Amino acid sequence: MNQEAACRSIETTIKSLGRATIDSPVSGSTIFVEDHERVVIDTSLGFFKRCMETGSEPVSFELAGPRRKIYFDPSKTKCAIVTCGGLCPGINDVIRSLVLELHYAYRVENIYGVPYGLQGFIPSYGHALVELTPDAVEHIHELGGTVLGSSRGSQDIGEIVDALERLNMNIVFFIGGDGTLKAASSVAREALERGYRCAVIAIPKTIDNDIAFVSKTFGFDTAVEEARKVITCAHAEAKGAPNGIGLVKLMGRDSGFIAANAALASRDVNFVLVPEEDFDLEGPRGFLCALEKRIRTRGHAVVVVAEGAGQKFFTDMPEEKDASGNVRKHDIGVYLKERIERYFQEVALPVNLKYIDPSYTIRSVTANASDSIFCGFLAQMAVHAGMCGKTDMLIGLWNNVYVHIPTEICMQGRKKIDVGGPLWMSVREATGQPVMVNEG
C-alpha cells in the first residue's frame, strides 16, 4: 500500500452490537486490550512526515485481543462456524482452535458447524447442523480440507439471517475468501437492520494471499512450501532429459504471490509468469524467444506460471463465470504447453517438456507448522472479538500485529505484486528473466 493511499480518509471504525458489561472469564496471565489501542497502517517515516505536513491523523486499525468486558453471557451464547469456497491448508486448524477457545477460555458449550458453506443455512438443502465439541475436533487438524464441507455460490442473505434468528445464534464465524467476506458483511448489515444482535466475524481464507489490507492469509506458507517441492521435481525432470523443460502451473487467479515466493524458495526457476506483469509470446523479446536462448545455452529450463497470467491470449474466447460469480480463468498452463511444443517444432529444436499442475493437491494438504500456529492465533482473536460484540469485521495480520479490520475495506480491491517493488525485483534477480514485452 502506498503512502498517498494510507493518508486518505479510510473508515476503520469497528461496528459493535452494544456496550460490553460482563466481566471476561478469560483469566491467568492474560493481557487485556483496550479499544483505543491502535496499529498504524503505514509505519514508514515518509508516511508520518506526510501526515504531519497535512495535519492528518495516521490511519490505524483497532488492536485485536481479549477485552476486560464482554458483550455475550457465555452460559447463554450459541455460536456457528461456516467454511466457504475452495479448499485451503489450515481450515480445520481454524475450526479446531475456534472450538477450543470458545469452550475452554470462555466456557461456551453451544457450538455448531454449518455444513457445506452457505447452503447449510438454507432449509431447502436439508443439511443438518454439526455439534462441535473439543472431543469432536480433537484430531481434525491432522486432516486436509474442511470437516464441515464447503460450497461455492451465493445464497439469499435474508434466508441466512432468518436461519440465524430461528437457531438463536449469537456469533457466526465465516471462514472464506472474497465472496465469503462479501456475504458475511451483508449478513452482518441485514442483522443490524433487523435489530437482531448477532456478531459476524470473518477469518479470511485465500490460498492466493490476495486480500487487501491483510499481510498474509493462512495456508499461504504451506502452499509455497508444497509448490517448492513440485518445482524441485520439475527441475529434476528438466535436467534429466536433453533440452528438458519443466512447466509448472500454480494457483494465483489475480495475484502471483505463490508463484513468486515458491520461485524464490527453490532458486531453480528460470521464468516466472504472473498476472501482474505483461509478457508477449512471439517476437524477438517474447517469452518463447527467451526460452529458446535458455535451452540453447544451458540445455534445460524451469517455467512457473500463475493460473491468471497471460489471459490476454484468450480475448477471442467467451467469458465464463463460476458459481461464485468469479470470471473463470482460461487454462494458461495447457495453452503454454501447446505453444512451447509448437514453437520448438518450428525452429527444429527437439525438447522434452513435462507439464505439472499440482493445484488441487496443494489445496488439500494439511497445514505446516507455521500455518498451524497462525491459524490458532487467528481463531483466538476472532473469538475475543465475537464475545465482545464486535461485528462486520475480520481478523487480519498487519505490520506483524493482529488487528480488527472492517470487512468493507477488504472488498475494495485485491492485493497484488508491486512489479516495481522488492519482491518482484528479487524474483528477477533469482531467475535472470528479461522483460518479455516487444517494443511497441
pLDDT digits (tens, 9 = 90+) for 91-115: 999 999 999 999 999 999 999 999 9
Least Cα distance to 129 among 139, 141, 116, 146 occurs for 116
pLDDT greater than 60 at residue 3: no
Residue closest to 225 by CA, chosen among 264, 272, 269, 177: 264
Q: Are 58 and 51 in contact (CB under 8 A)?
A: yes
Helix (H) or strand (E) holding 227: helix 220-239
Please tell me the predicted confidence (pLDDT) of residue 51: 56
**DSSP 3-state assignment of 41?**
coil
Contact between 154 and 179 under an 8 Å Cβ cutoff? The reply is: yes
First to last CA, the chain: 30
Residue 257's φ and ψ, nearest 5 degrees, are -65, -40
Element (H, E) at 17: none
**Could you give the 3-state DSSP secondary structure of residue 175?**
strand
Q: What is the pLDDT of residue 247?
A: 98
Q: How confident is the model over 184-203, as a mean pLDDT?
A: 97
The sign one gets for the Cα dihedral 217, 222, 228, 234 is negative
| Domains of the chain: residue spans and CATH | 3-217+366-410 (3.40.50.450), 220-364+420-431 (3.40.50.460)
Give the residue carrying C-alpha cell 528438466.
Answer: 238
* Whether the Cβ atoms of residue 139 and residue 133 lie closer than 8 Å to each other: no
Beta partners for residue 321, in sequence order: 327
E strands in 194-330: 199-204, 244-250, 271-273, 300-306
In the predicted model, is pLDDT for residue 281 greater than 90?
Answer: yes
Q: How far is CA 314 from CA 86, 340, 411, 439, in A?
A: 24, 16, 27, 21
Distance CA 326, CA 74 (A): 39
Which of the following is catalytic: 208, 210, 254, 371?
A: 208
* pLDDT at 191 > cutoff 50: yes
Confidence grade of residue 213 (pLDDT, cut at 50, 70, 90): very high
- Give the Å distances, CA to CA, from 248 to 150, 163, 234, 319, 356: 27, 44, 7, 24, 5
Could you tell me which of 85, 78, 45 has the C-alpha nearest to residue 217?
85
Q: Are 61 and 39 in contact (CB under 8 A)?
A: yes
| pLDDT value, residue 27 | 76
* Residue 150 in this model has a pLDDT that exceeds 80: yes
Q: What is the mean pLDDT of residues 351-378?
A: 97
Model pLDDT for residues 157-168, shown as the tens digit of each residue: 999 999 999 999
In this prediction, residues 363-378 reach a mean pLDDT of: 97
Hey, what's the cell of 143?
Answer: 486432516
Cα separation, 108 vs 240, in Å, equals 58
d(Cα 321, Cα 312) in Å, to the nearest integer?
Answer: 17
> Is the pLDDT reported for residue 5 higher than 60?
no
Residue with cell 531467475: 431
Q: Which residue, chain included where needed, has cell 456475504?
A: 183
Residue 11 pLDDT = 86
Give the pLDDT confidence of 119-140 residue by residue, as tens digits.
999 999 999 999 999 999 999 9
pTM: predicted TM-score of the whole model, two decimal places: 0.93
Taking every pair of C-alpha atoms in the chain, what is the biggest distance, in angstroms?
Answer: 78
Percent of the chain having pLDDT more than 90? 86
The partner residues of 39 in beta bridges, in order of sequence, read: 61
Residue 139 grid cell:
484430531
Name the pLDDT band for 48 (thresholds 50, 70, 90).
very low
Mean pLDDT (the chain) is: 93
DSSP state of 163: H
Assess contact for 202 and 394: CB atoms under 8 A. Answer: yes
35 is catalytic: no
